[in-house]
Amino acid sequence: MHAFTFHNPTRIHFGPGQIARIAEEIPAGSRVLLTYGGGSIHHNGVHAQIAAALAGRTVIEFAGIEPNPEFETLKRAVELGRAERVDWVLAAGGGSVIDGSKFIAAGITLDPAIDLWQIVGNRTPLHTATPLGCVLTLPATGSESNNAAVITRRETQDKLSFKNALVFPRFAVLDPSVTQTLPTRQVANGIVDAFVHTTEQYLTVPSGAAIQDRLAEGILSTLIENGPVTLTDPANPDARANLVWAANQALFGLVGIGQVVDWATHAIGHELTALHGIDHARSLALTLPSLLRYRLKDKTAKLAQYGRRVWRLSGSDASVAAGAIDATEAFFEHLGVPTRFSAYQLDASEVAKAVREQLTRHNRLKLGEGGVLTPDDCARIVAMAV
């Protein structure tokens, strides 16, 4: 196992009724910027519960953070937060709202002379950030308790991330009951995103990290068993609760410590979203099976372990590894998440060319474990998913 330091400062309140805990987290008298998306929080009781918990604070609302949060929108929120001298940001929504709010929290306290776009790609140091809390309404990204955010600038087709310990949410409320209003498509997306977060940190090379491997296999098995139940039986509270916790744990930080990690599927997926507006999880389903096939030789040992322990396959390493990739692809398709560009009426070889250019422009020249995937390799991977 490789050396690591682990610290995750986000306090998690899990379960029904936990939104009320915000009253203990955000001091009375605070000026709170409440950030959210297109309005789903008005239809599932989240907004009303937050309003009750924030009684005695001044609340300034900023609505309209879109999926794949857009820089221009977030800039307006930073300006509002500065003008209103807010001392807390409270995000209510999925990964987009939470990621966008990390940017807002970092932007409010940034020297106004610095271009806010410099935050993205970690091109300006952050010295402080406004404290951030969040109410998660969509299990998928793990953003509610990590320090990463992905921000989009449509005019330049950029979808880029930043990471900073200052934007770890101080607290996260995970009430599975508020996910009941999610459309099926978003539930399926969440299952796939959590699945791929786990494989990115697990399907690489053996690192002798027994606990992390078992945690990854536990998360993957839970998603395989439990994910389809959340779709066929949406009101099943245990299925929903386990999905919320699985998605959280996939990117809480524990799976990847001491391991060799990949993340090339995400790098390629972000370019697919930047180019074609494909939902984040859907961009991953288009990429992962081909990437695993492309790197089969490098990944055989872990793929065989995954195939035996998670899919209960038997046979030689080579046949189990190949079978595990097929099973993964079939699982995504079973969830209604396509793994081929033809499902989007897109020509995979044309997309591949554009992905190669984007990766080169974004200086993503050596991806995956070992840094062996060049933009040419990534284009070949994309072109495989015809």
Residues that bind ligand NZQ (CB under 6 A): 37-40, 44, 67-68, 93-97, 99, 137-138, 140-143, 146, 148-150, 178-179, 181-182, 186, 189, 193, 251, 266, 280
Q: Which of ligand NZQ, Zn ion, none sits in contact with 200, Cβ below 5 to 8 A by type?
A: none
**How many chain residues bind Zn ion (CB under 5 A)?**
1
Q: How far apart are CA 128 and CA 70, in angstroms?
A: 22
Q: Which of ligand NZQ, Zn ion, none sits in contact with 146, Cβ below 5 to 8 A by type?
A: ligand NZQ
Of the candidates 265, 260, 259, 136, the residue with the CA atom closest to the CA atom of residue 193: 265
Closest to ligand NZQ by CB, 99 vs 213, is: 99
Closest to ligand NZQ by CB, 266 vs 302, is: 266
**Rounded least distance, CB 381 to ligand NZQ, Å:** 18
Specify whether the CB–CB gap between 287 and 178 falls below 8 A. no
Does 262 participate in binding Zn ion (rule CB under 5 A)? Answer: no
Does 329 participate in binding Zn ion (rule CB under 5 A)? Answer: no
Question: Quick one: which segment of 6-14, 171-179, 192-200, 359-367 binds Zn ion (CB under 5 A)?
Answer: 192-200
Closest to ligand NZQ by CB, 13 vs 308, is: 13
- Cα dist from 165 to 4, 145, 171, 300, whole Å: 16, 11, 14, 35
Q: How many CB atoms lie within 10 A of CB 231?
A: 16
Quote the distance between the C-alpha of residue 27 and its chain's center: 29
Burial grade of 200 (CB within 10 A; 0-12, 13-18, 19 or more):
buried
DSSP strand pairing (158-163 vs 148-153):
antiparallel
Cβ-Cβ contacts under 8 Å for 298 (sequence gap 6 or more): 205, 369, 370, 372
**Rounded least distance, CB 316 to ligand NZQ, Å:** 33
Question: Quick one: which segment of 189-197, 213-221, 326-334, 373-381 binds Zn ion (CB under 5 A)?
Answer: 189-197
Q: Which of Zn ion, ligand NZQ, none sits in contact with 47, Cβ below 5 to 8 A by type?
A: none
Choosing from 25, 70, 158, 193, the residue that interacts with Zn ion (CB under 5 A) is: 193
**Rounded least distance, CB 311 to ligand NZQ, Å:** 23
- Cα dist from 334 to 28, 192, 208, 227, 285, whole Å: 48, 11, 32, 11, 12
Q: Which of ligand NZQ, Zn ion, none sits in contact with 378, Cβ below 5 to 8 A by type?
A: none
Q: Which of left, alpha, beta for 253 (phi over 0: left; psi -120 to 50: alpha)?
A: left
